[in-house]
């Protein structure tokens, strides 16, 4: 490990030890409250452009493996941990987190007071930061941080979407689902493949006509990174697909794009929702779900100017919107991650609900 530091745009500096790739990392500094699942978090494309603080103090103790990746590489720009453990133990393990980060050219820093850092982010909001081992003045370091691009207004989807359209399928597919890839997690595909379906995954900027030419029985809008309002092509395609009558389902960024297409507005949360312990109320059945979340933007449900929009889910931490459905069209979407990985399985029923709509339709 090499001496290093984390500097935030408010001028605060935290000293620690750099591990993984010994280089510089910059991005929006956010925190995740999950107790485990660091490999799934690091490889989730929704974290593109961000440096992730793990609030759980001990990270690395179960190493990494070949099965728990949510994409083909580490998507987060950096990792911040309190205590890093290089001596790992796990029957599925293949290598240490340190070696895994080196292989993926990602920089991490340990020995940080993650409690103090997280409280600072909660109080002042998510902010830009840099992990570096460079020995330059604090003034120059701060200037470098202020030059890091902001997430607001950024369309980061082109960095994580598929290069080409592709198909994955169950053995005897009964239905066809068109999937918009804005940065899809592998576990979403795994959950869908539990049903008798063929999934055709389309690049994020594919025109809606190409989707309809596939003659799908359902359409899915995936999760992804960045500011939803900047993904204008996704919003326009949703506007054209919703009235088609083909069932539509969205998760996270997909939920935001569908909501924007239906006339709502989105806004940036102060510090976002990231973790596996967020309580959400399902208004349809009057029950609480403990959910997995990862988003920095939210839908302002008060901006819906359409009596056909039904608010289905609400976050019990802060009252923000977590889900909608449409009375006229077979459209449903949620802000959280029912596929989990990591996180609880309370909300996996949503895939079954959507497939029932597909079957009925």
What gap in Å lies between CA 310 and CA 323, rounded to an integer? 9
Q: Are 53 and 8 in contact (CB under 8 A)?
A: no
Residue 9 tokens, joined: 């745009």
- The answer to whether residues 27 and 148 touch, using CB atoms and an 8 Å cutoff, is yes
Q: Which of 283, 220, 228, 302 is nearest to 261 (CA)?
A: 228
Bridge partners, residue 167, by sequence = 200
Give catalytic status of residue 339 as yes or no: yes
Q: How far apart are CA 358 and CA 341, in angstroms?
A: 25
DSSP codes joined into one string, 283-305: TTTTEEEEEEEEEEEEEEGGG--
Q: Residues 198, 301, 322, 339: which is the catalytic one? A: 339
Residue 234 CB-half CA count within 13 A: 35
Annotated active-site residue in 21, 69, 206, 252:
252
Between CA 136 and CA 122 the distance in angstroms is: 28
What residues are annotated to the active site?
252, 337, 339
């Amino acid at each position: 490990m090499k001496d290093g530091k984390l500097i935030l745009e408010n001028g605060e500096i935290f000293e620690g030890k750099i591990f993984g790739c010994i280089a510089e990392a910059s991005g929006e500094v956010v925190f995740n409250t999950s107790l485990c699942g660091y490999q799934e978090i690091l490889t989730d494309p929704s974290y593109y452009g961000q440096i992730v603080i793990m609030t759980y103090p001990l990270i690395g103790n179960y190493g990494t493996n070949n099965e728990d990746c949510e994409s083909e590489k580490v998507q987060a720009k950096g990792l911040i941990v309190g205590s890093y453990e290089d001596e790992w133990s796990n029957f599925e393990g293949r290598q240490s987190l340190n070696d895994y980060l080196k292989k993926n050219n990602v920089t991490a820093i340990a020995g940080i007071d993650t409690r103090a850092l997280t409280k600072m982010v909660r109080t002042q909001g998510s902010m830009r930061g840099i992990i570096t081992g460079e020995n330059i003045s604090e003034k120059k370091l701060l200037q470098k941080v202020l030059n890091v691009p902001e997430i607001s207004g950024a369309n980061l989807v082109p960095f994580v979407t598929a290069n080409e359209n592709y198909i994955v399928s169950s053995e005897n597919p009964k239905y066809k689902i068109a999937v918009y890839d804005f940065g899809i997690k592998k576990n979403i595909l795994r959950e869908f493949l539990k049903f008798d379906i063929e999934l055709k995954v389309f690049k994020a900027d594919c025109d809606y006509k190409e989707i309809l030419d596939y003659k799908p029985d359902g359409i899915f809008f995936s999760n992804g990174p960045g500011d939803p309002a900047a993904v204008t092509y996704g919003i326009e395609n949703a506007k054209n697909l919703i009235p088609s009558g083909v069932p539509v389902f969205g998760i996270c960024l997909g939920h935001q794009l569908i909501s924007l297409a239906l006339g709502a507005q989105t806004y940036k949360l102060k510090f976002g929702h990231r973790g596996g312990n967020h309580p959400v109320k399902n208004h349809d059945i009057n029950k609480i779900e403990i959910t997995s979340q990862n988003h920095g933007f939210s839908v302002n449900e008060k901006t819906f100017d359409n009596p056909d929009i039904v608010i289905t889910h609400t976050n019990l931490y802060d009252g923000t919107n977590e889900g909608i459905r449409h009375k006229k069209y077979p459209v449903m979407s949620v802000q959280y991650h029912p596929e989990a990985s990591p996180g609880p399985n309370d909300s996996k029923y949503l895939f079954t609900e959507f497939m029932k709509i597909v079957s009925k339709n």
